[in-house]
């Protein structure tokens, strides 16, 4: 990771073109104890890489005289670059010095030392420490990830969507290139959309009541609703993905499923837009269109291992809506056998079994 001093070194070198001038300017801050340990490592690495071996060794001798902490990696790197062959006694002295300095300054000098590979050809201790350190970091990484995974499983079982979203983001930060995590986030976005819609509908008046209330509106009030829809359609043309998503949800909450589906179909800006469109078609009783969308998404997300579960769930619901209750129940049974924890599928299967002729 680049430090602020490394940026300053690049700037000074670009201005002067002479690494010795750069080092001389920064020595003043080193003498005044204004450089952090990371800054000292950056400066000494620059000097070693620039071939300022004599200046660096003089500087390190001064540190020893004044009992100031040494940058061990820079020392070893410089000595080995000069072609010096270290005797076992000298290597032992280096390790003893590292141990003494670690105790005196309460810092991990060994980690600094092994950043250089200069001692590897003389002694196995440096490479072994490096291996153990990497193993320790990897173990901490795996323990942290396992703990987050346990929290994630708990959030899923208890349907804590906001907590699940946060934990998925934290886990993905461990490895942003992990395709499985990316696919898992895509599936979460589908479930989040489904949950939002289901919750909204659960707390809304029945459709028959909405239609009854609308039928009692005066012609003037009915006419007044048309500009609202036109305004939403206009906004959707240039809306960002989150804005388009919210506009579509608003229409769903207004029981305008056809209009919501049309909005989403025109601008498929993301994975979750695709999934929300499929859900909207089912909620709007456009079952034939939903089956066509399922087939389209099967091709589009053929590489997503979670997509078949969500698409089977959607296909079963669409078939049930079309009256093919036998096939719908069989599909839902196959889904619950593979995913017994799929709560929505289990609940729906139980309901269908009771309602089926």
Higher pLDDT, 205 or 62: 62
Average pLDDT, rounded, for the chain:
79
How far apart (Å, rounded) are the C-alpha atoms in residues 166 and 65? 52
Say how far apart CA 174 and CA 154 lie, in whole Å: 20
Q: Say what percent of the chain tops pLDDT 70.
A: 84
Nearest to 112 by CA among 93, 133, 92, 91: 133
The pLDDT score that the predictor gives to residue 348 is 85
Residue 206: predicted pLDDT: 47
Q: Region 94-100: what's the mean pLDDT? A: 84
Q: How far is CA 222 from CA 5, 207, 254, 263, 309, in A?
A: 67, 17, 14, 21, 41
Q: Residue 291's pLDDT is what?
A: 92
Give the relative orientation of helices 37-49 and 72-81 as an angle to the nearest 10 degrees. 10
- pLDDT band, very low/low/confident/very high, at 5 (cuts 50, 70, 90): confident
Confidence of residue 42 (pLDDT cuts 50, 70, 90): confident
The more confidently predicted of residues 143 and 225 is: 143
pLDDT top residue among 314 and 111: 314
Residue 135 pLDDT > 70: yes
Of 72-81, 171-180, 318-327, which range is least confident? 171-180
- Report the pLDDT value the prediction gives residue 219, as an integer from 0 to 100: 65
Domains of the chain by residue range: 4-123, 285-357
pLDDT value at 203 more than 50 = no
**The predicted structure's pLDDT at residue 212:** 46
What pLDDT does residue 213 have? 46
């Amino acid at each position: 990771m680049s430090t602020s001093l490394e940026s300053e070194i690049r700037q000074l070198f670009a201005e002067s073109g002479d690494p010795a001038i750069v080092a001389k300017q920064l020595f003043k801050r080193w003498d005044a104890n204004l450089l952090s340990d990371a800054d000292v490592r950056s400066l000494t690495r620059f000097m070693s890489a620039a071939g300022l071996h004599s200046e660096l060794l003089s500087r390190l001798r001064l540190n020893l005289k004044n009992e100031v902490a040494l940058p061990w990696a820079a020392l070893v790197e410089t000595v080995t670059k000069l072609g010096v062959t270290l005797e076992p006694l000298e290597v032992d002295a280096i390790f003893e010095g590292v141990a003494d300095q670690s105790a005196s300054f309460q810092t991990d000098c060994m980690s600094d030392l092994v950043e250089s590979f200069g001692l590897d050809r003389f002694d196995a201790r440096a490479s072994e420490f490096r291996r153990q350190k990497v193993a320790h970091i990897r173990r901490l990484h795996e323990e942290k990830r396992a703990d987050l995974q346990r929290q994630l499983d708990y959030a899923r079982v208890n349907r804590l969507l906001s907590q699940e979203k946060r934990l998925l983001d934290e886990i993905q930060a461990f490895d942003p290139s992990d395709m499985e995590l990316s696919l898992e986030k895509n599936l979460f976005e589908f479930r989040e959309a489904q949950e939002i819609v289901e919750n909204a509908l659960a707390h809304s008046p029945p459709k028959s009541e909405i239609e009854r209330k609308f039928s009692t509106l005066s012609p003037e009030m009915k006419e007044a609703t048309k500009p609202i829809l036109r305004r939403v359609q206009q906004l959707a043309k240039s809306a960002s993905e989150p804005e388009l998503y919210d506009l579509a949800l608003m229409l769903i909450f207004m029981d305008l499923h056809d209009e919501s589906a049309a909005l989403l179909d025109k601008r498929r800006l993301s994975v979750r837009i695709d999934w929300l469109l499929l859900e909207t078609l089912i909620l709007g009783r456009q079952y034939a269109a939903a089956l066509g969308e399922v087939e389209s998404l099967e091709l589009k997300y053929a590489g997503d291992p979670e997509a078949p579960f969500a698409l089977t769930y959607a296909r079963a619901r669409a078939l049930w809506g079309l009256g093919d209750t036998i096939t719908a129940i069989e599909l839902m049974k196959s889904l619950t056998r593979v995913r017994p924890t799929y709560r929505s599928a289990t609940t729906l299967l139980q309901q269908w079994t009771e309602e089926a002729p």
